[in-house]
Structure 1
Amino acid sequence: MRPVVRCLFAGLFTAVASPAALACSACGCTLSSDWASQGLATSKGWRFDARFDFFDQDQLREGTSSVARETVAIPNEREVQQYTTNRNYTFALDYSPGKDWGVSVALPWFNRSHGTIVAGDEAVSTSHEEGIGDLRVLARYSGFDAQRDTGVEFGVKLPTGAFGSKFETGPQQGETVDRGLQLGTGTTDLLLGAYHFGAFNADWGYFGQALLQVPLNSRENFKPGTGLNLNAGLRYTASETFVPQLQVNARFERREQGANADIDNSGATLIYLSPGMTWNLSRRFSAYAFAQVPLHQRVNGLQIELRWSASVGLHYIF
């Protein structure tokens, strides 16, 4: 089967909350990268994927509406976030010992700049974090029938990312940054999912996937919200060289819990439209590029969200 685009749930690697300067920024890019759910990992062997995501969260939102910054008084009784600029990398290694079983390991590297006006402050405090995020290990099984077009996924997200970054400038200098903006959550999360893929005819294929993420513990009085990702995609495969694809990506995230959680300003429902293209340079090597724009954004409290995102990547089959 021809290799098509791969992407990862950036939201599965985004961290959450802290006692100082509390306010949760929703995770941003939700583009799908699960090889199995797209029918691209049905043969044995190794695969490697490297992806870069850029998204700038600078639109202040409350509920389903955007909020004009000039209407928000400063100082304010609530934190008023200014921007969160994300330049993120994800490296994934996938292995299938046979047709029925497979496993993928993915590690993100975050480069994130953040500016915010904390409740009661009159000036912006800034931070910059760079380093690895939380490692994800996801196994899959698809041996339910001869077609192997339906499968289940199960695994864990491990607390490999740091969560103690401090503000570098402004009134909050030296204080801990909101853990929604840290490199890791500090928690171990259970991952459970299911997927199905198929073809309408010789030229059109589709896939669908659901993946649930449930925190199994809390860390330093914080527990991230349970999250559910739903993804559906349609691809045109008449050409073996250029494969256009259109995805709809949705994430539903519940509020955080604990004394260090920003309960009022956490949790969201996010739905995005993601058009893109894969360029198959050879039978083993592919490049891809996607854009992502919001269709629906509903946040709890006052949060900042992206207006668009861009993703590019390379995929290699050993």
Structure 2
Amino acid sequence: MNPTWQTGLALPLLLLPMAAAASCGSAFCTINTDWDTQTPWQENATRLDLRMEMIHQNQLRSGTDKTTAAGVTGEHDEIKTLNRNMVASVSHAFSSSLGVTLQAPLVSRDHSHVFNGVGGPEPESWNFTRLGDVRVLAHLRLDDAQSAHGQAYGLIGGVKLPTGSTKVRNTDGELAERSLQPGSGSTDVIAGGFVSGHLAQTGWHTQMNWQHAVSERQDYQPGDHVSLDAGVTYPLGMVHALAQINLLWRGHDSGRNAEPADSGGKYAYFSPGLAMPVGHNAQVYGLVQLPLYQNVNGTQLTADWAATLGLTMHF
């Protein structure tokens, strides 16, 4: 394997996962898949990462238990949400200690539910592909980047901007619920930190992030979320084995257009995968995310698995 990738795969990930969970099941993978800090930072170096995600949420859950639709008149019963996202990230290192990343998601979402009207069930569905909320993040390494000890640690900070639409309607003109929309409408602040190192041939990393909405739009404010990730990498000839534990806590949404009782929760996932170099300046990777623990507030759609496949290049 290319020595650059051998060294780089052991280091932590810059970007926090684009995590979301709501009653309608809108979501991004909680897997860390941006490799910006996984190779030695070089001044004026640029990285491009493209990844595809699929999360098929078709299991209703109440608390930690699987459940079925209640069929209450005047309310709707969720059926499924299929999330297929394309996420593009561009990172630039201005020095060995300071870098900036721009991350833009293209959200493809297919959602259906049944409204329990007085005259009987009424099926409703939405299918759209739109730009989601863009993120701008900066990272600062606090260790000596030239040191040979093989460890790195630093801070992450940034914002999520309200670039995604909050006005998507279906073919019948029905406005999608706010938690289903490609954008939250809020401006969020993001803060976190990372630590990484080596133990023999095994690379390890941990990362913690916090996200908080500081503005809202049209009486909807997404809940805070805190993520904690820990992962290892191990060389297997021409490929690297990857494994992560992803923990996520998400608070209740708030506002007149929110569903506070059916939003937020606590989640734990195991995410194994592989990465392989392609030439000298690129690698492909794939990971599968498997739930270890899901405890939702109220009743929400959840997924039995999720997957991501991507390509990263540096220039």
**AA of the residue aligned to 2:49:** D
Could you tell me how far 1:83 is from its partner in structure 2? 0.4
**AA of the residue aligned to 1:210:** M
Residue pair 1:289, 1:312 contacting (<8 A) in 2 also: yes
What TM-score do the two structures reach when normalised by structure 1?
0.88
CA distance 1:176–1:9, change in 2 (3 Å): farther
Written as runs of structure 1 = structure 2, the 5 A alignment for 1:79-228 is 79-120=76-117, 122-146=121-145, 147=147, 149-168=152-171, 173-201=172-200, 203-228=201-226
- Take 2:250 and 2:116, find their aligned partners in 1: how far apart are those partners? 24
- Take 1:243 and 1:254, find their aligned partners in 2: how far apart are those partners? 35
Written as runs of structure 1 = structure 2, the 5 A alignment for 1:46-85 is 46-67=46-67, 69=68, 72-76=69-73, 78-85=75-82
Could you tell me how far 1:219 is from its partner in structure 2? 0.7
Q: CA RMSD for the aligned pairs?
A: 2.1
More off after superposition, 87-96 vs 40-49: 40-49
Could you tell me how far 1:223 is from its partner in structure 2? 0.6
Residue pair 1:247, 1:275 contacting (<8 A) in 2 also: yes
Sequence identity (%): 30
- Take 1:80 and 1:229, find their aligned partners in 2: how far apart are those partners? 29
What TM-score do the two structures reach when normalised by structure 2?
0.89
The yes-or-no answer on 1:294 pairing with 2:291 is: yes
Counterpart of 1:20 in structure 2 is none
Residue pair 1:10, 1:27 contacting (<8 A) in 2 also: no
SS of equivalent residue, structure 1 residue 180: helix
Could you tell me how far 1:78 is from its partner in structure 2? 4.2
Written as runs of structure 1 = structure 2, the 5 A alignment for 1:37-48 is 39-40=38-39, 42-44=41-43, 45-48=45-48
Counterpart of 1:235 in structure 2 is 233
Q: Deviations over 1:261-281 (max 9, x none)?
A: 111101111111110000112
- Take 1:84 and 1:9, find their aligned partners in 2: how far apart are those partners? 23
Count of residue pairs brought into register by the alignment: 301
Q: Deviations over 1:114-167 (max 9, x none)?
A: 001235461321011211101001001003435460000000000111011123
The yes-or-no answer on 1:316 pairing with 2:313 is: yes
**AA of the residue aligned to 1:151:** G
CA distance 1:73–1:189, change in 2 (3 Å): closer
CA distance 1:15–1:295, change in 2 (3 Å): closer
- Take 1:227 and 1:265, find their aligned partners in 2: how far apart are those partners? 15
Residue pair 1:221, 1:259 contacting (<8 A) in 2 also: yes
In structure 2, list runs of 5 or more residues that go unmatched: none
- Take 2:16 and 2:173, find their aligned partners in 1: how far apart are those partners? 31
CA distance 1:25–1:220, change in 2 (3 Å): same
SS of equivalent residue, structure 2 residue 179: helix
| Greater share of residues in strand | 2
In structure 1, list runs of 5 or more residues that go unmatched: 17-22
Residue pair 2:26, 2:180 contacting (<8 A) in 1 also: no
